[in-house]
Structures are given as structure tokens and as C-alpha cells.
Structure 1
Amino acid sequence: MARVLIPLAQGCEELEAVTVIDLLRRAGVEVVTAGLEEGPVTCSRGVVLVPDTTLEAVLGDDFDMVVLPGGLPGADHLNEDPRIIRLLRQMADQGKYTAAICAAPKVLARAGLLQGRRATSYPGVLDALDLPDTVRDEEAVVADDRVITSRGPGTAMDFALELIEKLAGRDQRATVEAALVRP
């Protein structure tokens, strides 16, 4: 079974975090949520999430993918945390998946993971960065090798389904998607 880490920072976008957590778990993926510090995380719209653990407690664990929810100031907190940057680089060096949605692709950029890749983000986020070797895309979800990015809250379901496909295959994605009764 695939194992995914979702770091939760104060001010993260709850729709993105919960959608990804929920759909991955529906697909049978083991999801570990980890707060940057101990205690509940208050999201950007005031929803309170209780992480499974802390980031510090799982830094030595093995994961197949790390997924960064966006939202502000959540993405800024992820971007400023050296543990997150080291973790992303380590995952990439091991040939594992890294994924980010909304404002969080800027964290992938800071870690150097968007260099020479196609990526998307919330409008303007990547444009504000000096990324001459990154092709900015406006698709809902962009998968370039083992780096997956997405636009924002409205694309969270498509993003989560793409993550399922990468981790568990097309059939599992179709099974989860059918049960969602999407148009």
C-alpha cells in the first residue's frame, strides 16, 4: 500500500487538504497528516484540523509521496520551513513523488524541483518567481514525471484523482471517481 505524507501548516487551504486526504484514503492509500508543530491546525477559512502527528516525528519515515496543500499563509509557512525543503529534495533524489496545489508549488520551486519542468499553480504564484526554466501551464493538473501540481480549491478533486492514479493505478482512480458521482 502506498504511503503519503501531507504536512499541514497554519493557514492551509482546508478544501485542498481535506479533499486530498479523503480521496486518497478512499483509494486505500495510507495518509499521514503532520503538523509543522504540535496541536491543531487552523486553516485559512477557520476550519480546525487535527494532524495525526508532527512533522518532526515522521521525518525519518518512508513515504511514496509528499503532498503540499496551498492556501495562505499556509504555503508561506511550508516555504519557510527548512525541514520541508530538505524533505522535498530527499523525496526527489529518491525518485519519489512530490505534489503541490494552489500557492504551494512555490515551495517545490524553492526546493529546485520545478527547474526544467511544466507546472501550474494558483494564478500569479509561479509568475511572481524567477523561474526561467519552468514552463507555466494553466491546466487544472500538470504531471511532469514525478512532480504534480494543480491550480487551486476548484481543482482539488482532479488533483487528488491524479495522485490516486499515480499511486494506485487507473482502475483504482476510476473506482474512486465513480463513487463520487461526478458529472
Structure 2
Amino acid sequence: MARVLVPLAQGCEELEAVTIIDLLVRAKVDVVTASLDANRLICCSRGVVIQAQIELEQAITQNYDLVVLPGGLPGADFLAEDSRVLSLLRRTVEQGHLVAAICAAPKVLKKAGLLDGLDATSYPGVLDQSPAKDMRYSNQAVVDAGSVVTSRGPGTAMDFALHLIERLKGVAVRQQVESALVR
């Protein structure tokens, strides 16, 4: 079974976090949510409170098929400032697995050095005005650059999550999940 880590920072974008988690669970993916510190209650960017399952300190000892970062501010800034998150992202890619980020969170991938020379997208203004070295900015809803997947924002969260399902479980599972959503 595919295993995915979703680090949750205070001030993350709730629509992105919940959409990613929900759709991956519908695809029967083992999703682990982790808070950056002992406060597992995450107050999202618009005041919605969600609860992480474990603390990041416990989560980073494991390996994942995918580490996916919801955006939102100041959540993406907190992720970018956490050296454990940056190390985990690098390790995940080095092991041949996927990392993904949406909205403001691609800045975390940039800080980890994972966008150099790749195609990527983000919320307008996050990466297009300050791209990674030799990065090619795209306005596509979802950009798949092999081991790194990026997306634009809350409005693209469903497309992003469905794309991640396809990468992890294949087209048939993606279609099954998407069909049940009555899109």
C-alpha cells in the first residue's frame, strides 16, 4: 500500500490540506498527517481547525512513497523554516520517491533545492518572480516534473490530488475516485 506523509503547519490552507488527505484516503492510500510540533491541533489559514495524527518528529523516522505539502500562509513559511522538512524532502527524492507541493508550498521545494532545472508552478507570485536556478515557470494547474509535482492553489487542489493518486495507484484508481466525486 502506498504511504504518504502530509506535514501540517499552523496557517496551512485548509481546502488544500483536506482535499489532498480526503482524496488520497478515498484511493486507499495510507495517509499520515504530522504537526511540526507538539500542538497537533492545526489552526488553518481561515480558522478551520484540523488535527494531525502524530508529530513530525515521529513521522520523519519513516519512509514514504510521497511527501505532499499543502500551501497557505503562514503555513508554507513555517514548513520552509523547518530543517527537518527540508531534509525529509531531499531524502525522499534521493530514495526515488515523490514530493509534491501546492500554492505557496513550492517555495519549500525551492529552498530544499529540488526545483533547480525543472518545470514547476505555484500560486502567482510565489515562484514566478523568484524561480529556482534554471527552473521553467508554468501556468498549468498541475506540473509533473518526474519526482516533483507542483500545483497552483486552492482551485487546483482536486486536480492536484487526483494527479497524485494516478502517480501512486494508476489511472484506473484515479478514474474510480474521480467518478465517485461526480465531477
Q: TM-score range by the shorter chain?
A: over 0.9
Alpha-carbon displacement from aligned partner over 1:77-121 (angstroms, at most 9, x marks no partner): 000000010001101111110000000001001111101100000
Residues 1:72 and 2:73 are matched in the alignment: yes
Whole-angstrom CA distance in 2 between matches of 1:75 and 1:23: 21
CA distance in 1, matches of 2:95, 2:10: 28
Q: Give the Cα separation in 2 of the matches to 1:18 and 1:120.
A: 20
Q: Show the counterpart of 1:169.
A: 170
Question: What residue ranges of structure 2 are gaps of 5+ in the alignment?
Answer: none
Further displaced range: 119-128 or 15-24: 119-128
Are residues 1:129 and 2:146 paired? Answer: no
Instruction: Report the alpha carbon displacement of residue 38 of structure 1 after superposing the two structures with TM.
Output: 1.6
Which position in structure 1 is the counterpart of 2:3? Answer: 3
TM-score (norm 1): 0.98
Aligned to 2:105: 104
What corresponds to 2:33 in structure 1? Answer: 33
Return the alpha-carbon distance in structure 1 between the equivalents of residues 32 and 59 of structure 2.
9
Provide, for residues 147-172 of structure 1, a one-character-per-residue CA deviation record: whole Å limited to 9, x for no partner. 00000000000000000000000000
**Whole-angstrom distance in 2 between the partners of 1:133 and 1:99:** 19
In 1, the alpha carbon distance for the partners of 2:153 and 2:115 equals 18
Q: Secondary structure at the match of 1:44?
A: coil
Q: What amino acid is the match of 2:35?
A: G
Report the secondary structure of 1:113's partner residue. Answer: coil
* Paired position in structure 2 for 1:86: 87
Cα distance in 1 between the residues matched to 2:48 and 2:38:
17
Question: What CA RMSD, in Å, does the superposition of the two structures yield over aligned residues?
Answer: 0.7
Q: What is the DSSP-based 3-state SS (H/G/I as helix, E as strand, rest coil) of the residue aligned with 1:99?
A: strand
Distance 1:50 1:16 in 2: 15
2:23 aligned with 1:23, yes or no?
yes
Distance apart, 1:62 and its partner CA: 1.6
Partners of 1:16 and 1:155 lie apart in 2 by 9
- Alpha-carbon offset, residue 58 of structure 1: 1.3
**CA 1:130–1:145 in 2, change beyond 3 Å: closer, same or farther?**
closer
Q: Which amino acid aligns with 2:103?
A: C
Report the number of matched residues: 182
3-state SS in 1 of match to 2:67: strand
Query: Which residues in structure 2 correspond to 1:143-162 (within 5 Å)?
Result: 143-162=144-163
**C-alpha displacement at 1:137, in angstroms?**
0.2
- The answer (yes or no) to whether the contact 2:63–2:92 under 8 Å persists in 1 is no
CA distance in 2, matches of 1:35, 1:131: 27
**Code of the aligned partner of 1:45:** R
Please list every run of at least 4 consecutive aligned residues from structure 1 whose deviation after the TM superposition is greater than 3 angstroms.
none
Q: Give the match's secondary structure for 1:37.
A: coil
